[in-house]
Amino acid sequence: MSGDLTLTERMRRHFPWITLVSVLLVVGMKDINFLAPENLVNLASDFVPLLIMAVGMTFVIYIGGIDLSSQSIANMATVLATISLPALGVGAGLLVIVAGLVAGAVSGVVTTRLKVPSFISTLAVGGIALSVGQYASGQQALHMDMAQRLHAFGWLVGQTAGIPHALVLALLIVAAAWFIQVRMVPGRTFKAIGAAEPAVIASGIRAERYRVLAFALSGMFAALAGLVFSVRLSGGSPTLAEGFLLPAIVAVLVGGTPLTGGVGGVLNTLIGTMIVAVVRASMIYFSIPATGQQIFFGVVLIIAIATTIDRSKMRIVK
C-alpha cells in the first residue's frame, strides 16, 4: 500500500523538522551569529517553561481535546511554590505537582463524566485555579528568599559546561513524556483514543480513565512549568505566567499534532516549541517594527501550520 502514497505524503511526517531547519537557516542567513551553539542553547533554555507546558498539553490534544487551564494552573503553581518554599523546601515542588495533577484530573472528570466539552471545562477549571492562586497570594507578587531558593532549587538554576540545568531538566521531562507516549500503556491508549475511541471501548479498555489521566498529566506538566518559571524568577504571582497559553497551544499545533488527535506527539511538540522560539527571536533579527510583530507572527503561523499538519488522516476538515 505504501506504494500508493505520493512523495508528499511520505515526506509529510518530516515537514515539522524541515520547517524548523528552514526557519533556523533563514534567520542564520540574516545573522550567522544566531546559529552559534551557545546562542541556540540560550534560546532553548529560555523556552523551558513553555516547552514543559506544551508537552503536557500534547497529551490532551493527542486524545482530541484541548486544555485551556494550563496557564492558570501555572499561575497557581508559581504562587503555591513561593508561599510553601519556607515551610517545605524541595517539598514545595511536590506540593505544586500534586496540585497541578489534581486540577488536571478535575478537568478530566468534568469532561468525561459530566460531558462538558474540554474547551469549556478546562476554561472553567482554569478560572478556579486562578482564584486559588489569587487567594493564596493575597493578591500580591511574592518573592522567594534567596537562600531558601538556592538551598531547595539551586540545582535548577545553575549550569554545567555552559548547559543550563533547567534545559537538561526539560529534556529529561521531554524524554520521560516521550517514553510515556511510545513505550507505556497510557501513551499507547492515548494514541488509540485519538485515532479511534470506539475501537478502544470495544477492546474493553476503560477509556474514560485514560482520558482523565491525560488531563491530569497536562495539569501536572503545567504546574511543573509554573514551578520552573517561579524558580527562575525567584517569585510568584497570580499573573506571573500570563501569556503562556496561546504560545503553548501554537507550539503543539505547529509541531504537527492537529486537534483531531492520534497524530503527532511529544517530539513534534519539541520541534513546534523550537519553531515558535525561533520565529519570536527572528523578529529581533529582522527588526520587525513594534506594531507589525503580531501580524508577522500570525502570518508565519499560518504558513507553518499549513506546511506541518498531516491532512491525510483528516476526512473532514472542520
Q: How far is the CB of 283 from another protein (least distance, A)?
A: 8
Q: How far is the CB of 57 from another protein (least distance, A)?
A: 13
In single-letter form, the type of residue at position 150 comes to L
For another protein, how many residues bind (rule: CB under 8 A)? Answer: 142
Residue ranges in 202-241 that form contacts with another protein under rule CB under 8 A: 202-207, 211, 229-230, 232-241
- Only one of the segments 7-15, 87-95, 96-104, 301-309 lies at the binding site for another protein (rule: CB under 8 A); that segment is 301-309
Count of beta carbons in the 10 Å neighbourhood of residue 284: 12
The DSSP 8-state label assigned to residue 63 in this structure reads T
Give the closest residue to 162 by CA, choosing from 28, 21, 36, 270. Answer: 36
Contact 73, 126 (CB under 8 A): yes
In single-letter form, the type of residue at position 226 comes to G
Q: Mask: binding to another protein, 257-286, rule CB under 8 A, as x and -?
A: -xxxxxx-------------x--xx--xx-
Per rule CB under 8 A, is residue 7 in the interface with another protein? no
Q: How far apart are the C-alpha atoms of 71 and 240, rounded to whole Å?
A: 9
Q: According to the 3-state scheme, what is the secondary structure of 117-147?
A: CHHHHHHHHHHHHHHHHHHHHCCCCEECCHH
Residue ranges in 108-167 that form contacts with another protein under rule CB under 8 A: 110-112, 114-121, 123-132, 134-135, 137, 139-143, 146, 150, 154, 157-162
Q: How far apart are the C-alpha atoms of 43 and 47, rounded to whole Å?
A: 7
Count of beta carbons in the 10 Å neighbourhood of residue 264: 28
Q: How far is the CB of 88 from another protein (least distance, A)?
A: 19
DSSP, collapsed to helix, strand or coil, labels residue 232 as helix
Per rule CB under 8 A, is residue 102 in the interface with another protein? no
Given 87, 152, 183, 265, the residue binding another protein (CB under 8 A)? 183
Given 26, 46, 102, 171, the residue binding another protein (CB under 8 A)? 46
